[in-house]
């Protein structure tokens, strides 16, 4: 069965510093990996995805993620954090097209000014 | 383009009452998903449909929950009778079945069962 782990419930960084939100996955085949962001009282918004190809994926709002097959990881990164990046971040995986996404438990990112 | 539309946004009801949540997917999408979000359990997949046909309902908690998709532009999630432990935010999402693309989420329906 496919699964996703986000080992940190919360990540705190200062504005302007780089940020990393960690994600590891487990699937039987080739993974399709996603990152979403959720602001309070809102739905989930898509940030980026890895399907195949370049291991470094660039997405919305300056975020990027690096796919590492040997470590089964897909960490979300941003070179310089903004206070407005403070939100709940979800990593998700599916093992084939047309199926549902399985989400991690989420990581709360807090960026201080 | 309109996104995924859910109604109601907020519902407060008493234990034992029937609750119906509604979802209109993005036009042209042929997969629809219902998720539930709680603090304790995070985001859980309840059920999903491809081309209006339920594919996996293993996440539906119990027989009190049912979901239908009578056509490509409408789905309902019904809870009868409702219980306080059903209190959660219920999200609907849609996508293209054949793709490897992302799901598009609605704003959610926050259910409180007293």
Mean pLDDT, residues A61-81? 96
Query: In whole angstroms, how far apart are CA B21 and each of A91, B36, B86?
Result: 26, 12, 13
Mean pLDDT, residues B6-26? 97
- Chain A residue numbers touching B91 (CB-CB < 8 A): 43-44
C-alpha span between B87 and A45 (Å, rounded): 23
pLDDT tens per residue across span A28-52: 888 899 999 999 999 999 999 998 8
Q: What was the pLDDT predicted at B99? A: 66
Question: Under an 8 A CB cutoff, do A100 and B56 touch?
Answer: yes
* Residue A25 phi, psi dihedral angles, 5° rounding: -135, 165
pLDDT(A74) > 80: yes
Q: Considering only residues 12 to 71 of chain B, which have any Cβ-Cβ distance to chain A shorter than 8 Å?
A: 31, 33, 35, 42-43, 45, 48, 50, 55-56
pLDDT tens per residue across span B39-94: 999 999 999 999 999 999 999 988 999 999 999 999 999 999 999 999 999 999 99
Mean pLDDT of chain A: 94
Q: What was the pLDDT predicted at A94? A: 87
pLDDT(B1) > 80: no
Both tokens of residue B28?
A: 């042209």
Question: Is any Cβ of chain B less than 8 angstroms from the Cβ of A90?
Answer: yes
Q: What is the DSSP string of A44-79?
A: EEEEEEE-SS-SEEE-GGG-EEEEETTTTEEEEEES
Q: What is the DSSP string of chain B?
A: ----EEE-SEEEE-TT--EEEEEEPPTT--EEEEEEEETTTEEEEEEEEETTEEEE-TT--STTEEEEEEETTEEEEEESS--GGG-EEEEEEEE-TTS----EE---EEEEE-
Q: What was the pLDDT predicted at B23? A: 98
Top pLDDT among A108 and B102 is at A108
Q: Which of A23-32, A41-50, B17-26 has the lowest mean pLDDT?
A: A23-32
């Amino acid at each position: 069965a496919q699964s996703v782990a986000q080992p940190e419930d919360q990540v705190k960084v200062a504005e302007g510093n780089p940020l990393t939100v960690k994600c590891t996955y487990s699937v039987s085949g080739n993974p399709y990996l996603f990152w979403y962001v959720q602001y309070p009282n809102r739905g989930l918004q898509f940030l980026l995805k890895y399907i195949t190809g370049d291991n470094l994926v660039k997405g919305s709002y300056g975020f990027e993620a690096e796919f590492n097959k040997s470590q089964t990881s897909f960490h979300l990164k941003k070179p310089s954090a903004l206070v407005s990046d403070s939100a709940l971040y979800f990593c998700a995986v599916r093992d084939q097209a047309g199926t549902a996404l399985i989400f991690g438990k989420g990581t709360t990112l807090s960026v201080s000014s | 383009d309109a996104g995924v539309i859910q109604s109601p946004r907020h519902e407060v009801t008493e234990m034992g009452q029937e609750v119906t949540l509604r979802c209109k997917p993005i036009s042209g999408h042929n997969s629809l998903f219902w998720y539930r979000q709680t603090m304790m359990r995070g985001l859980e997949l309840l059920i999903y449909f491809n081309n209006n046909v339920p594919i996996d309902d293993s996440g539906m908690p119990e027989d009190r929950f049912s979901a239908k998709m009578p056509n490509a532009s409408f789905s309902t999630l019904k809870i009868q009778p409702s219980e306080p432990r059903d209190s959660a935010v219920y999200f609907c999402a849609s996508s293209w079945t054949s793709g490897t693309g992302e799901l598009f989420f609605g704003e959610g329906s926050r259910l409180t069962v007293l």
